[in-house]
Amino acid sequence: MDQKNDLELILRSRSPIVVIETRDEARILDMLQSITLASPSNEYMPLFRWTITDGLQRLDIQLEPQSLNSEPTDVLKHIRAVEKPGVYVLLDFHPFLEDPVHVRLLKDICIRYPGIARQIILLSHKVKLPSELESYAARVDLALPSEIERRKIVEQVADEWSRENQGSRVQTDPKAYKLLIQNLAGLTYADTRRLARNAVFHDGAISKSDLPDVMRAKYELLNRGGALQFEYDTARLRDVAGMDRLKTWLSHRKSAFRRAGNAAHLDPPKGILLIGVQGCGKSLAAKATAGIFGVPLLRLDFGSLYDKYHGETERKLRDSLNTADVMSPCVLWIDEIEKGLAGRGGETGTTQRVLGTFLTWLAEKKSKVFVVATANDISALPPELVRKGRFDEIFFVDLPDRQIRASILAIHLSSRGQSLKDFDIEKLSQISRDFSGAEIEQAVVSALYAAHAKNQALSTAHLVQEIQQTKPLAVVMSERISALRQWAEGRTVPCN
């Protein structure tokens, strides 16, 4: 009701052009019809709708459809020639605003507005108004459905299902119902209704099993830019070997992030920066963070943000961060962040603007988006990013020690159906010194291929052979890794 009142106030502010950017076209048209029909007789103005397919049609009274003035130039000339007040809703007119003839016609209508109140409403998902028309225009920013409105939409959908199923009631899990209302935040009325209908009409119930599908569908609706990826599979604590200090740190902040229990008064944690040797589990730690917090995981690909057109890179980043805000609570994983924020040759100006946009969002965000940024090359990171206060903590992921290597071997052998009692884990963990977690996993994979080729069961001997044939990154690039370890000492918190 408040949004309807806001729209009515704008319409009565005597602005010749009203711009409404929304995907809820049907809802806005219903609101405009309701406002028009409720107007007192001395202020009544007829309401028209124009589309390029149907032309100009009257909305406030029932008339036979007429495909008159379907061309943009014709409809603007018609509106300019009309000598009676009226409200004209032009749907998806944004592509035609680049034509100077249309701009001039619209300006003519605006200039003559004090004499004849012909109001133009530009209704589309996005409207870029020419500078000549900005001074004549007012913009309406309609809020997305509130929690109360989302609950009402779900109740309406449940009532529909009951009517179609002989009065049967929708089976509802109270906790799942509450989470469904929460997870539908950030969507338009139409999308909220569609996702609620999918959840209810699937099995006549609202249960926890509906929530993953709702979140996936919501992500697909919001991520139209393509820079974000929805990671469907998150990791569990038992999938991560070692990193005990990081696990404890995250566990202590779980309730504060979810604002549960007596942690509701605490500020939610902002995020962490994971720096370390390649292949030692930074990406797995990001996935495990989402698993620990019990929220969706979004991955931001900085490389796909960069665009050759001026300003597009920053716009894509803002859209991606806005999507993360709408998807909250969630974990935003930024993999190899240095590749997106380090200098990119001639694009250093763009890089600085991207960095500024990201840091401003990180400092000012109010949503429950926990950022996990990973980096391999600390020298490429800008100093503004790694100073204290940007992230809650900076963790260093080092090469696994012998005990952790044994755990990694056990995880990868078990996940591939191997019985641990058939292997000398202690010996394998000793001879795999300086191996990263990824290199240990690859040794297991290669040994399985070697055993299969010989039609043999995997054994310790196969694994020993693969490990001895591998030169780990810590040996091949020992100077760089030693420098990284030296930098991390005293500046970061070890994960283990």
Q: Tell me the pLDDT tens digit for each residue of 250-302.
A: 888 888 887 755 555 777 888 999 988 888 888 888 888 888 888 888 888 77
Please check the confidence at residue 119 and state whether its pLDDT lies above 80: yes
Give the model's pLDDT for residue 481.
84
Under the banding of pLDDT at 50, 70 and 90, the label for residue 97 is: very high
Burial class (CB in 10 A: 0-12, 13-18, 19+), 221: middle
- Share of residues in the chain with pLDDT > 70 (%): 91
Give the Cα-Cα-Cα angle 371, 312, 99 (nearest 5 degrees). Answer: 145
Burial class (CB in 10 A: 0-12, 13-18, 19+), 292: buried
Distance between CA atoms of residues 101 and 82, nearest Å: 18
Distance between CA atoms of residues 429 and 427, nearest Å: 5
Mean pLDDT for the stretch of residues 206-219: 79
Q: Is the previous residue joined to 329 through a cis bond, with omega within 30 degrees of 0?
A: yes
According to DSSP, the β-strands at 86-91 and 47-51 are: parallel
Q: Kindly state the helix (H) or strand (E) to which residue 276 belongs, with its residue range.
A: strand 271-276
CA distances from 283 to 297, 473, 483 (A): 12, 17, 22
- pTM of the full predicted structure? 0.67
Nearest to 260 by CA among 270, 250, 268, 272: 268
Distance between CA atoms of residues 29 and 32, nearest Å: 5
Find which of 177-191, 261-275, 461-475 is predicted with most confidence, using mean pLDDT: 461-475
The domains found in the chain, sorted by start residue, are 2-140 (3.40.50.300), 147-222 (1.10.8), 237-397 (3.40.50.300), 402-476 (1.10.8.60)
To the nearest 10 degrees (0 to 180), the angle between helices 437-453 and 460-469 is 120
404-460, pLDDT tens digit by residue?
A: 889 889 989 988 888 888 889 999 999 999 898 889 999 999 999 999 998 999 999
Please check the confidence at residue 135 and state whether its pLDDT lies above 80: yes
302-335, pLDDT tens digit by residue?
A: 766 766 555 677 777 887 888 788 777 889 998 8
Please check the confidence at residue 345 and state whether its pLDDT lies above 50: no
Burial class (CB in 10 A: 0-12, 13-18, 19+), 236: exposed
Distance between CA atoms of residues 258 and 236, nearest Å: 18
Look at 324 and 101; give whichever has higher pLDDT: 101
Please check the confidence at residue 88 and state whether its pLDDT lies above 90: yes
Q: Is residue 49 within 8 Å of residue 29, measured between CB atoms?
A: yes
Please tell me the least confidently modeled range out of 77-86, 122-131, 287-296, 345-354.
345-354
Tokens of 352: 């600085």
Tell me what the pLDDT averaged over the chain comes to. Answer: 84
Under the banding of pLDDT at 50, 70 and 90, the label for residue 222 is: low
